[in-house]
Amino acid sequence: MAVIKTEDLTYVYGDGTPFRKVAVDHVNLEIEKGDFAGIIGHTGSGKSTLIQHFNGLLRPTSGSVYIDGERLWDNKARLRPIRFKVGLVFQYPEYQLFEETVYKDIAFGPKNMGLDEDEIDRRIKETAKLVGLSDSVMQKSPFELSGGQKRRVAIAGVMAMEPEVLILDEPASGLDPKGREQILGMIKEYHKAKGNTVLLVSHSMEDIARNVSKILVMNDSKLFCYDETAKVFHRSAELEKMGLAVPQVTRVFDRLKAMGFDMGEDVYTVKFGSGLLLDRLGKKGAK
């Protein structure tokens, strides 16, 4: 059964005012348990609005959202348990830190869940290790840390709740390439270790292509498609028309194809592409 399902999900900002804006328009979607999916779409296409429906932060203007088959907003008291099931990390999450120490800040979510001390401690230690926060950092004030470290603390704060579905809104934005790589690496690690569903909003096609197995494309408030990475990047012409770039290496191989060098397969990571290329060159006897 799909862990997240939406039916004609529509959300309108400022309904009944001159600033009315349909941000999510009749989205029908099913996300399976264990999927590691990327969410892409141009600026203002409704990605952030969409994901805030998955844990009941926004109430649909019309249509419904089901988590594990349970329809949200039928019973408001059920929203809090749902938020423990579906963890959402906002864009620039470091601005939500507030506790005296990093340890306490990460403990905020698990504490709200009503877990006992030992379990909270276990989870904090485990996530701290996963995101690479040393013991000395754990006792510091979160406001003394560097931007990248703060980001990790904030993400750890949600991961420690061990949600069945982890959603991250541009977790790597504003970081240098190494910082990006580390953040994405730890998200991948989390997915592998727990086998939980992970949704990742990102503007970087390279990051998406390297990490996820499925892609959800939003275009102008509408769902364009939700499919396997390869199949989505195969529609590169359509993506580019929406103002979305496919990974650079995919473009290179598209051009090669246009020039008559058909590799037979779609390429969207440099690693796969170079392997394919070397293979081909090797077959022809070149070195």
Ligand X SMILES: Nc1ncnc2c1ncn2[C@@H]1O[C@H](COP(=O)(O)OP(=O)(O)OP(=O)(O)O)[C@@H](O)[C@H]1O
User: What does the binding site for another protein look like in residue numbers (CB under 8 A)?
Assistant: 52, 55, 57, 80, 83-84, 87-90, 93, 95-98, 108-109, 112-113, 143, 157-158, 161
Regarding 219 and contact with ligand X (CB under 6 A), the answer is: no
Q: CA 203, CA 40: separation in Å to the nearest integer?
A: 6
Examine residue 47 and tell whether it contacts ligand X (CB under 6 A): yes
Does position 45 interact with ligand X (CB under 6 A)? The reply is: yes
- What is the DSSP code (8-state) at residue 249? H
**One-letter amino acid of 277:** L
- Under 8 Å between Cβ of 141 and 133: no
Q: Is 44 in the site for ligand X (CB under 6 A)?
A: yes
Q: Does 221 interact with Mg ion (rule: CB under 5 A)?
A: no
Report CA-CA distances (Å) from 222 to 169, 219, 225, 241, 243.
18, 5, 9, 15, 15
Q: Check residue 48 for interaction with ligand X (CB under 6 A).
A: yes
Distance CA 63, CA 12 (A): 12
**CA pair distance 58, 56, nearest whole angstrom:** 5
41 binds, among Mg ion, ligand X, another protein, none (CB under 5 to 8 A by kind): ligand X
Q: Where does this chain touch ligand X (CB under 6 A) — which range of 40-48, 101-109, 146-154, 181-189?
A: 40-48
Distance CA 262, CA 252 (A): 12
* 216/231 Cα distance (integer angstroms): 11
Binding piece for ligand X, criterion CB under 6 A, among 42-50, 72-80, 225-233, 234-242: 42-50
DSSP, res 74: S
Q: Whole-number minimum distance, CB 112 to another protein, in Å?
A: 3
Handedness of CA 219, 216, 153, 172 (dihedral sign): negative
CB of 133 to ligand X, least distance (A): 27
**Residue nearer to another protein on the CB measure, 46 or 93:** 93
Q: Which of 4, 9, 49, 233 is the binder for ligand X (CB under 6 A)?
A: 49
In the β-sheet with 36-41, what is the strand arrangement from edge to edge?
86-89, 165-169, 197-201, 36-41, 214-219, 222-228
- The count of C-alpha atoms lying within 13 angstroms of the C-alpha of 152, restricted to the half-sphere facing its C-beta, is 27
Structure tokens at 38: 């990327």
261 binds, among another protein, Mg ion, ligand X, none (CB under 5 to 8 A by kind): none
For residues 3-22, which are near ligand X according to CB under 6 A? 13-14, 21
Q: Is 43 in the site for ligand X (CB under 6 A)?
A: yes
98 binds, among Mg ion, another protein, ligand X, none (CB under 5 to 8 A by kind): another protein
Which does residue 49 bind out of Mg ion, another protein, ligand X, none, counting CB within 5 to 8 angstroms by kind? ligand X
Report the interface residues with Mg ion, using CB under 5 A. Answer: 48
Q: Which residues bind ligand X (CB under 6 A)?
A: 13-14, 21, 23, 41, 43-49
